[in-house]
Amino acid sequence: MALSKPVRTIWDIPREERFAPGHTMCQGCGAAIIMRHLTKVIGKDAIIVQATGCVEVTTTAFPRTSWLNPWLHLAFENAGAGASGVEAALKALKRKGVIDPNRKIKVVAIAGDGGTFDIGLQSLSGMLERGHNVMYVVYDNEAYMNTGIQRSGATPLGAWTTTTPVGKKMRGELRPKKDLIGIALAHRIPYIATASPAYPTDMVEKLRKAYETEGPSLVHIISPCTPGWRIRNEDTIKVARLAVLTGMWVLLEIVNGKPRVTVKVPKRKPVREYLKLQGRFRHLTDEEIARIQKMVDEYVEEINRWVGEQAIGPVEE
């Protein structure tokens, strides 16, 4: 049974584990936390289609699996297309009476940032545009972590990766991350949200709403990566929380085009606090940090304008 009643407190999260331990995800992996909660939400009657990536390789080395749901992996760039195929098949087979037409079976696509922002973008766009009844979950660790920390379209400005090294002429990633929510929004889908595992009630409730949505939904979740972000194993949640408290990651929900900030931050912390915990930003000078702060200030202003209130407040040292 999928989670059916609204999640208001941490106690509304189902106890039943539907993501088996014994997987080989790293110590302190953010994505592992996300997968645990996602599978709790979707319950038994969901078919998962997963893109190639960290979670895929660490959970399905033959002859073992961490998954309790029917689960399909085809390739890196086609979670959207695969999910479309499963959904279409369910529709046809229900109509033809092969599968009980009254049984709700949700299709859930899971992909990382590489499989979503970059190589999987076309397939995602097709799936969203065609209106498939699929819930798409992105765990965004902001680089190609499975291959060893290479830059993706989701890598934030200034971040070190192995392909945006810190050298004499270039100092980490040169561009801010791609606006995935803007892309999803442009497809006019009924439900879009951002989430952070540091705010589990908010995250689980958004996953539940995405599950309940008829039609395409997308939940974009920040997923700290201990080796890739060069953070201590125990700091995963701390970093995911600071992303929100500094305004670098705003917890949004967009229902039928109407945006809302679900976790307001009346007083923002300076981005320095988020950056200084992470080795990938260690090289940043005060000037570079100031530039990132300015970018975040502008982003926050844009969000506040969009949602029509001061959801995210000013920086307070």
In the window 47-76, what residues touch other proteins (CB under 8 A)? 47, 49-50, 56-57, 59-75
Q: Within 7-26, which residues bind other proteins (CB under 8 A)?
A: 10-11, 13, 15, 17, 19-25
- 91 near other proteins, judged by CB under 8 A: yes
Q: How far is the CB of 17 from other proteins (least distance, A)?
A: 5
Among 3, 38, 41, 84, binds other proteins (CB under 8 A): 84
To the nearest 10 degrees (0 to 180), the angle between helices 30-42 and 236-245 is 80
30-42 and 200-212 are packed helices; what angle lies between their axes, rounded to 10 degrees? Answer: 40
Tell me the three state secondary structure of residue 31: helix
Hey, what are 263's tokens? 């976790």
Residue 179 lies near other proteins (rule: CB under 8 A): no
Among positions 279-298, residues that touch other proteins (CB under 8 A) are none
Please say which residue, 14 or 176, places its beta carbon nearer to other proteins.
14
# chain residues binding other proteins, by CB under 8 A: 83
Per-residue contact string for residues 94-113; x = within reach of other proteins by CB under 8 A: -xx-xxx--x-x--------
Q: Phi then psi for 295, rounded to 5 degrees?
A: -60, -45
CB 22 within 8 Å of CB 41? no
Q: Is 234 in the site for other proteins (CB under 8 A)?
A: yes
Phi and psi at 272, nearest 5°, equal -50, -40
What's the closest the beta carbon of residue 72 comes to other proteins, in angstroms?
5
Distance separating alpha carbons of residues 87 and 107, to the nearest angstrom: 6
Which one, 86 or 245, has the nearer CB to other proteins? 86
Rounded to whole angstroms, how far apart are CA atoms 51 and 67?
A: 14
Separation of alpha carbons 300 and 248, rounded Å: 8
Segment contacting other proteins by CB under 8 A, of 40-48, 188-196, 212-220, 266-274: 40-48
Q: Can you tell me the distance from the alpha carbon of 268 to that of 297, in angstroms, rounded to the nearest whole number? A: 10
Cis peptide before 63 (omega within 30 of 0): yes
- Only segment of 30-38, 160-168, 250-258, 274-282 that touches other proteins (CB under 8 A): 30-38
Q: Binding other proteins by CB under 8 A: which of 38, 46, 110, 300?
A: 46
Could you tell me which residues are beta bridge partners of residue 161? Answer: 164
Q: Of 47, 42, 70, whose CA–CA distance to 208 is shortest?
A: 42
Separation CA 270–CA 290 (nearest Å): 10
**Which one, 201 or 304, has the nearer CB to other proteins?**
201
Binder of other proteins out of 3, 7, 29, 207 (CB under 8 A): 29
Instruction: Report in angstroms how near the CB of residue 203 gets to other proteins at its nearest.
Output: 10
Identify the DSSP state of 266. Answer: S
- CA distances, 62 to each of 35, 66, 122 (Å): 19, 11, 29
Q: Does residue 200 touch other proteins according to CB under 8 A?
A: yes
Q: If residue 9 lies in a helix (H) or strand (E), which one and from where to where?
A: none
Report in angstroms how near the CB of residue 294 gets to other proteins at its nearest: 31
Q: What x/- string results for residues 116 through 145 when contact with other proteins is judged by CB under 8 A?
A: ------xx-xx--xx---------------
Under the binding rule (CB under 8 A), the answer on residue 230 touching other proteins is no
Which CB atom, from 84 or from 164, has the smaller least distance to other proteins? 84
